Amino acid sequence: MTEGLFVQDLSFAYGPNQALDGVSFDLQKGRFCALLGPNGAGKSTLVSLLTRLLVSPSGTIRIAGHDMRQAPGRALAKLGVVFQQPTLDMDLSVRQNLAYFAALHRLPRKGLNARIDTVLARLDMAERAHEKVRALNGGHRRRTELARSLLHDPQVLLLDEPTVGLDASSRAGIVAHVHDLAAQGMCVLWTTHLTDEVRDTDDLLVLHKGQILTSGQAGGVRGDQSLSDWFLNQTGTTV
């Protein structure tokens, strides 16, 4: 049983519009996988299926070995998500935002403060625990969301273009933190338009017109071209 994210033959159509067509991949624990795709490739549809906002009529999703169709609660309990749009309460402190999420997920109150301290420390956010989110810069807000996504101890982390709108140094910080989480054993799926966020040692999935065009280690896939040139040559479009 894989501890990562297993997807097999996943398809989804909006009426006559086939958004995903037979998508399969198998991501391992401890790996950072970048999902690249141009506009309309099907990334948002895939994210919606992985988070069960949509349900596919066919195909299989297993999160840390739990089948999304047969045991959605157990599968989603192993998934941490950072959506593209921020979902923090600006007038609560960092700690209060995390505590509220913990209550929603019915995490045990016993040991919760220590758990919050641990996830904030993992994101270098411990000293900001009592600050209101409104007072934080964009990078620290994103790190708060990342810390929150780890509270229930997921094995798979899904991030949907998590660096949109951040300045270069905050972006680099988030990219580095999430690579660290993968190095510590997390299975990470990171959707992005930004090829400079992908390291040669990362896994790469390229989604194009609803299908997986290529998968493999990013450095091997791009060869001696830059990843953005490789992408343009393969798809005739920029990411």
Q: Which residues bind ligand ATP (CB under 6 A)?
A: 14, 17, 19, 37, 39-45
Residue 39 or 225 having the CB closest to ligand ATP: 39
Quote the DSSP letter at residue 111.
T
Q: In which residue are the tokens 């990411």 written?
A: 239
- The β-bridge relationship of strands 58-63 and 211-217 is unpaired
Residue 13 or 172 having the CB closest to ligand ATP: 13
Task: Provide the minimum distance between the beta carbon of 27 and ligand ATP in the complex, in angstroms, as a whole number.
Answer: 18
- Asked if 100 and 94 touch (Cβ cutoff 8 Å), the reply is no
Residue 13 or 71 having the CB closest to ligand ATP: 13
Report the C-alpha gap between 47 and 196 in whole angstroms: 21
Task: Provide the minimum distance between the beta carbon of 106 and ligand ATP in the complex, in angstroms, as a whole number.
Answer: 31
- Asked if 39 and 87 touch (Cβ cutoff 8 Å), the reply is no
Which residues face 20 on adjacent strands?
12
Task: Provide the minimum distance between the beta carbon of 230 and ligand ATP in the complex, in angstroms, as a whole number.
Answer: 18
Residue 44 or 97 having the CB closest to ligand ATP: 44
Q: Which alpha helices (H) appear in 151-209, and where do they start and end?
A: 168-183
Task: Provide the minimum distance between the beta carbon of 46 and ligand ATP in the complex, in angstroms, as a whole number.
Answer: 7
Task: Provide the minimum distance between the beta carbon of 22 and ligand ATP in the complex, in angstroms, as a whole number.
Answer: 14
Residue 122 or 209 having the CB closest to ligand ATP: 209
Residue 223 or 236 having the CB closest to ligand ATP: 236
Q: In which residue are the tokens 């998500």 written?
A: 81
Task: Provide the minimum distance between the beta carbon of 40 and ligand ATP in the complex, in angstroms, as a whole number.
Answer: 4
- Reported as half-sphere exposure (CB side, CA atoms, 13 A), residue 93 has a value of 12
Which residues face 158 on adjacent strands?
81, 189
Report the C-alpha gap between 175 and 163 in whole angstroms: 8
